[in-house]
A and B are shown apart, each in its own frame.
Chain A
Amino acid sequence: MTLLALDWLLIIEKLVLIAIIVFASLGIALYTTFAERKVAAVLQDRPGPERAGPFGLFQPFADGLKLIMKEEIIPNSSNKALFILGPGLAMTAALMTCAVIPWGSSVQLFGRTIDLQIADVNIGILYIFGVVSLGVYGIMIGGWASNNKFSLMAALRGASQAISYELAMGIALIALLMTTGSLSLRTIVEQQMAPGHLWNIAYQPLGFLLFFICAMAECNRTPFDLPEAENELNFGYHQEYSSMKLGFYLFSEYVNMIMSSAVMASLYFGGYDIPFFDESVLPQNIAALVGVGTLLLKIVVFIFIFMWIRWTIPRFRYDQLMNLGWKSLIPLALVNMLITGAWILAKL
């Protein structure tokens, strides 16, 4: 008798895809921590980690091992359940965004066409925004559960920063969606790949700038890293955390960075599209793999730019941050939307 009349092959295919993408993201995040230290070093005239393994390539494993071996301290007066929940929530929200990003076109394996995207929901971008907003909970819960004034202040600032910049990001995105007409990420990427179309950066340069600034603010990345500043707020909302819980918080920040880079690459820079190259000359599987490689390259470039900016600019003060978010970016985003609307009307 048939086992529950389900398409088992589909489920296995999706499970394998999820495993590959999640582990690949975690692996890239691991080496992003190493890259952060190396990029910071060369920008500061010094070599960075070089001793652990050839060229220091085993350094992330050494860091992970150090974090695991440390003592797990849970403060007595903290809210224990929430204390443990905070980092888990941050990591979950960071990883869940990888579900709707189109990592490549599609491969032909075992007689089936497998899309290199876990779930092609037709509200792709909205899902990403929802999950990113969940990330705010991770910060808030971490700050509250620590039972520490500094953590609470840091968490408050972090949460207010996140929601302020989400608005500008959303409005900048609306302008983009007016030109593409669809929320699904795969449709947006395929539109950019279509002949006669340029990448969306050419149609929405101001929108990209706004999105980039807001993505930096969402990832708590300098110059917007006040919630986790060492000298301002005594290390911020992950002050009371030690060992692997701290590791999760720090790691989730890097995963967030990678996912933001992937989203920006897909929305504005063509995703897995190779510029000036027609992929149909290659067999389908090879073209898909080359597309994945291209997307990874774009993500790497974005991550380098994130780090480059981090080590160039000092951080914003809280009121300057709020000023920028509400009084500068939102009006700019609205103006961008108006201009895009006028342009679409003029074209019709």
Chain B
Amino acid sequence: MEALTSRSVQVSRKPMSLAERLFLPAIFKGMSITFSHIFKKQPTIRYPEQRREFSPVFRGLHVLNRDEEGRERCTACGLCAVACPAEAITMEAAERLPGEEHLYREEKYAAKYEINMLRCIFCGLCEEACPKDAIYLSETFAPANYTRKGFIYGKDEMVIPNVKTDPEGYAKAKGSPRNN
């Protein structure tokens, strides 16, 4: 009957030879293999002194974006909240008052914007749903916390620093370009 795969190996049921029955040659061979592992490079990364490089499309913590003049892009349209499969996003909209044109792009903005990091599954559907390029997932991941309340991130923890008023914060948040 034909073998189901080309990688099949016929099991050899020959009785063990004397050298095999002694076990010792096989044991010594195994010991030399284990010994060689002492001199191999260890792939361990010693966190937090060393950190792992993530790929550019890694989905980490959310960042609320601003445009080139430093105005917040988010208009509290609610599409990200609807798209979120874990129902982690909540928001409250507010109307832009006449003196605040440099803060917000459009007439509606998000007064309160909260993401519950314990519910969030970091799928990135909110990033795909946003029509204003306002939210994207960055490379950091959620640090540990002692209370559940500490995991509900408000708007000020997520919004990127203003490029006009806080250029060093902005540069640090942007990070350096990757070499690939």
Contacts and interface: CB of A to CB of B under 8 A. Distances in A.
A308 B31 contact: yes
How would you classify the secondary structure of chain A's contact residues: helix, strand, loop or mixed?
A: loop
B69 to A, nearest CB: 48
B35 A308 contact: yes
Interface in A26-57: 42-47, 50
B43 interface: yes
A308 B34 CA distance: 8
B37 interface: yes
A43 B34 CA distance: 6
A108 interface: no
A311 interface: yes
Nearest to B39: A42
Given A47-B44, A50-B46, A42 B27 contact: no
A156 to B, nearest CB: 25
Contact of B42 (A47, A308, A311): A47
Given A42-B37, A44-B37, A309 B31 contact: yes
A323 B19 CA distance: 18
A4 interface: no
Q: For the side of the interface on B, what is the size category?
A: 10 to 19
Interface size class of A (residues with CB under 8 A): 10 to 19
Interface in A265-316: 308-309, 311-313
A45 B31 contact: no
B16 interface: no
A336 B34 CA distance: 31
B30 to A, nearest CB: 5
B149 interface: no
Contacts of A44: 37
A312 B34 contact: yes
Interface of A: 42-47, 50, 308-309, 311-313
15 contacts: A42-B37, A42-B38, A42-B42, A43-B35, A43-B37, A44-B37, A45-B40, A47-B42, A47-B44, A308-B31, A308-B35, A309-B31, A311-B34, A312-B27, A313-B30
